[in-house]
Amino acid sequence: MKRRVVVTGMGVVAPNGHGLDVFAQALREGRSGIRHIPELEQLNFSCQVGGVPEGFDAIRQRYFDHEKLLSLNDNIGFASVAAVDAWTDAGFAVPEAEDDRVDWETGVIAGSGIGGMDTIARTVVPMVNEGKVRRMGSRIVEQVMNSGTSARIAGLLALGNQVTSNSSACSTGNEAVIEAVARIRLGLATRMLAGGSEGASPYIWAGFDAMRVICRKFNDRPEEASRPMSASAAGFVPGAGGAFLLLEELESAITRGVRIYAEVLGGMVNCGGHRMGGTITAPNPEGVMRCVRGAVADAGISPREIDAINGHLTATYADPVEVKNWSAALGRGPEDFPLDQLDQVDDRTLPGGGRRNRMRGRRSAAPGRICTSVAELRGSPSGDRPLRSEDPAFGRGMS
Fold of 5-398: Peroxisomal Thiolase; Chain A, domain 1 (3.40.47)
Across the range 251-257, mean pLDDT stands at: 98
Residue 370 CA: distances (Å) to CA of 179, 264, 310: 27, 19, 11
Question: What share of the chain in percent tops pLDDT 70?
Answer: 85
Q: 133 pLDDT exceeds 50?
A: yes
* Domain ranges for the chain: 5-398
Nearest to 75 by CA among 172, 217, 185: 172
Give me the pLDDT at residue 150, please.
Answer: 97
Each residue's pLDDT tens digit, 83-101? 999 999 999 999 998 999 9
Q: 62 pLDDT exceeds 60?
A: yes
Each residue's pLDDT tens digit, 154-207? 999 999 999 999 999 999 999 999 999 999 999 999 999 999 999 999 999 999
Give me the pLDDT at residue 390, please.
Answer: 33
Identify the weakest region by mean pLDDT among 2-6, 148-152, 309-313: 309-313
Q: How far apart are CA 388 and CA 242, in angstroms?
A: 25
Helices (H) and strands (E) counted in the chain, each on its own, are 16, 12
Give me the pLDDT at residue 369, please.
Answer: 60
Each residue's pLDDT tens digit, 36-45? 999 999 999 9
Ranges assigned E (strand) in 250-296: 262-264
The pTM is what? 0.88
